[in-house]
Amino acid sequence: MEYTDYDAVIVGSGIAGAVVAKTLTDAGKKVLMLDASLESGMALEGEQAYRTQAAYLNTFYRAIAKAPNSPYPNLKNAPSSDVLEAQPVEIMDPNTGYFVQKGPLAFGSDNWVGAGGTTQHWLGTTLRMLPNDFRMKTMYGRGVDWPFGYEVLRPYYEMAEYEIGIAGEVSEQRLPNIGDDYFSPGYEFPMEKIPQSYLDRLMLKKTDGLKVTMKYDHATVQHEIHCCSTPQGRNSTPNKNYKYGGVAWDHRAKTLHMTPAGLGGYEPIGSLWDPYTGQRCEGNAACVPICPVQAKYNALKTIKRAKQKNPHLLDIRSQCVAYGLEIDPDSNIIRGVKFNRYESAEDRSYTMGIARGKIYVLAASAIENAKLLLGSNAANSSDQVGRNLMDHMCLLTWGLFPEMVYPFRGPGSTTNISSFRDGDFRSRHSSWICPIDNWGWGWPAFSPGTNVTEAVMEGSFGEALRDRLRMELSRQVLLHFECEQDPQPENRVTIDERYKDRLGNYRPVIHYDASDYVKEAFRVAKEVSDQIFKANKIADGTTYLSSEADYWEYKGKGYTSRGAGHIVGTHRTGSDPRTSVVNPDMRTWDHKNLFLVGSGNMPTLGTSNPTLTLTALTFKAAEAILKQLET
Amino acid sequence: MAEFMITSIPTSKVKQPDPDLGTFLAISSVLTGCSEAELEGTGMLDDYFCVLMKEQDHEGVRAFLAKAEEILAHKGTIQEEIKMTFIDLPDTATRPNPPFDQMGYDGLAQRIILLWYTGIWTTMNWKDEKTQPERTAMVSAQAYQQGLIWETAGTHPSGAKQPGYGSWHEPPIEEQDQRARKSTTRR
């Protein structure tokens, strides 16, 4: 089986692959997209798309644990990781699950290998990184600098915000050390901000403006807390003043630019099966793992727009698992992507194939990209492929608010504490962002279900039971401090002949740990949390158990860290081929027709959820690809 | 598509009308703290009765229901008797979290409460299967959506019965009604 004559072959159908496919086909290029998961998942319209969504939703309803991947098929031929598999590394069986966890800590995040990728289960938070995130080495002597600054990425952020469709309020983005040109003059988001929750309103009264103390061995620092509404990739009321109507390739200038909006401003993109469904968030409170009405963005919306506009330029082949690259030994040019096409989810039989084009783009996620490169012995002259795996390590703190705040409603988070995202403390410990969560103790304690079990086990029944549950559940609050993990070469994805999946492809072998830089942030963040709880008269319910997967002790106290699902850093961009995998255009240093896109490109993580930044980087990559195709 | 499409097949019905159905509803109401009308309003009564009958050694369930019927006839002492008979742990049970089969009537009362509140049924291992661990299963997609826990918490099941754009910015409707009533009374 051979697919040939493409300008570009893309591996992966998540947001990075989708943006490359759309941008290239818009510019008249012929593109092949290989997707590892089921063909039914790639249904882009009408009855078929609706039936796929109904199947996901039904699976979600019937799941006991509503984990991020619970609605979606986990295919033996193209497996996904699952957070539910994470346990203390010493008791994990390397022959089960998908990740082979070598520790010392378990990597506690997952992504989904399937049509639309992890944008199917993402929350939809879309924060830009801060200018100082791009110069961590220079400013704070930590991590590495990016090969370019925030100002270079700013126009691409605007493209990403258009493509995803962001709801947010520019004037409320109160962020540390961003200067006055963080947003371009007069910039507004495509849609009005998502209303902040009732819970946020009560929490903000005593939290916004609160002065807290950060204590160190030889210093004490005062900090005033600031909060702001969170920009999100979900539909709200369209902004009539939004300036842009698309992203287009300028054949003469060889650049991407944004085209002006039509008269009505921004037009929200509804669900795949019906454009009038999902025009606005309906408050399903299930963004992770599934938005039933698709008011939340997912990458299939981008693929659908590409396919509708240029049906003959975009070919999509599902059930094709890419496993290797064919490399010309003399020139190091990539000659093809090798894949196995399987017939059905149950069936282990497959046909081998190869896909050929001028340019190759790996967009299969930070973990899968690294695996593919390592398995092909490609792009790794720097020995950086697979290294510097990062995530936001989350400190969760939870308690009962003195009055009813009514959680379990609305999007997962609508407000965040933004003031710890940058500051001098970054030379001592990680910065963090702290979303105020809207879904009670669901994450740390599996509420509300566990509250019923607990009460019943304690002998509660009847009206007393109901009153008890009402009082407990209506007052639950949760904060999570997403601490920036610094790049560590030993936190890495590797491959091992002993560990393969059903089709004989490598399973990711993961080495993972927390540095003292992050641990110190946990210590300080917990003390900040205690002060926030005290000011709000929140009765603390936080417990960290030594039996939990990622429990560790630091300076005499125990903490449990949890993954944020922000899997970053396995093929970083840089200006030096000796210490980075891709150049500032996201092209591999080693192969002039191989580009990598996705969160693997990020040299550091900052305190933003990475999807918006990886999308901006992907637009930058797409521009470079077009330039290369036209010279 | 067929590979992962799960269709919700209704559980097979016990022969109706079953004389114990009324008792099941009445005891469920006392155990959950919800009125019979509320429980019937979920539409799950028949399905849950079937789950109970299907999963079980019938004699065990019938014995539980017979005892329940007896207690429910003693108006005035219902709460105390239910507590003593079904809720309080026998001396042999070990805390914390005794398995259901250490409880009175194999924890049927507790299993029934969890079923109504969460839609999740804990399978029973009566007689020879006592060594098997108990397993839990969501009865159906509908059972999840009809769980009493959501309304009790002042919300809706996550991913269903959505309350509409911006609803989360205000307290739940019931709370707003209550406040409005209070302020009217004061006036």
The two tokens of residue A540 are 């603390």
The pLDDT assigned to B182 comes to 81
Alpha helical stretches, state H, A83-197: 136-140, 150-164
Cα gap A111→A566, rounded to integer Å = 9
Judged against a pLDDT cut of 90, whether residue B180 lies above it is answered with: no
Per-residue DSSP letter, B76:
T
Cα gap A245→A190, rounded to integer Å = 10
pLDDT averages per 10-residue partition of chain A, 631 residues: 97 98 98 97 97 98 96 96 91 93 96 97 98 98 98 98 98 96 98 98 98 96 98 97 97 97 93 97 98 98 98 98 98 98 93 98 98 98 98 98 98 98 98 98 96 94 98 98 98 98 96 98 98 98 96 98 98 98 98 98 98 98 98 90
The pLDDT assigned to A478 comes to 98
Q: Do A61 and B155 touch (CB under 8 A)?
A: no
Pick from A7, A13, A5: nearest CA to A320: A13
Cα gap A429→A515, rounded to integer Å = 10
Q: What is the pTM of this model?
A: 0.96
The pLDDT assigned to B152 comes to 97
The pLDDT assigned to B88 comes to 87
Say if A57 is an interface residue toward chain B (CB within 8 Å): yes
Contacts with B, A 99-118, CB within 8 Å: none
The pLDDT assigned to B94 comes to 64
Residue percentage of chain B with pLDDT more than 70:
79
**Amino acid at site A617:** L
**Amino acid at site A482:** E
Say if A410 is an interface residue toward chain B (CB within 8 Å): yes
* Residue contacts between A and B (CB atoms, under 8 Å): 183
Say if A97 is an interface residue toward chain B (CB within 8 Å): no
Over B22-63, what HEC string results?
HHHHHHHHHHHCCCHHHHHHCCCHHHHHHHHHHHCCHHHHHH
Say if A47 is an interface residue toward chain B (CB within 8 Å): no
Q: Mind listing the pLDDT tens digit for each residue in B28-64?
A: 999 999 999 999 999 999 999 998 887 766 778 889 9
The pLDDT assigned to B1 comes to 31
Nearest C-alpha in A relative to B111 = A456
The pLDDT assigned to B96 comes to 59
**Sheet strands (E) in A348-400:** 350-362, 392-400
Give residue B97's pLDDT band: very low, low, confident or very high (50, 70, 90): low
Judged against a pLDDT cut of 50, whether residue B6 lies above it is answered with: no
Give residue B98's pLDDT band: very low, low, confident or very high (50, 70, 90): low
Mutate which: A56, A61, A74, vs B, most B CBs within 10 A = A61
Query: In this complex, which of A406, A466, A473 lies closest to B175 when CB atoms are compared?
Result: A406
Q: Do B168 and A438 touch (CB under 8 A)?
A: yes
CB atoms within 10 A of CB B26: 18
Judged against a pLDDT cut of 50, whether residue B7 lies above it is answered with: no
Q: Do A64 and B120 touch (CB under 8 A)?
A: yes
Cα gap A75→A67, rounded to integer Å = 16
Pick from A177, A180, A130, A195: nearest CA to A157: A130
Judged against a pLDDT cut of 70, whether residue B111 lies above it is answered with: yes
Contacts with B, A 221-240, CB within 8 Å: 236
Say if A457 is an interface residue toward chain B (CB within 8 Å): yes
Within 13 Å of residue A359, how many CA atoms lie on the same side as its CB? 28
Cα gap A184→A281, rounded to integer Å = 27
Give residue B179's pLDDT band: very low, low, confident or very high (50, 70, 90): confident
The pLDDT assigned to A89 comes to 92
The pLDDT assigned to B133 comes to 59
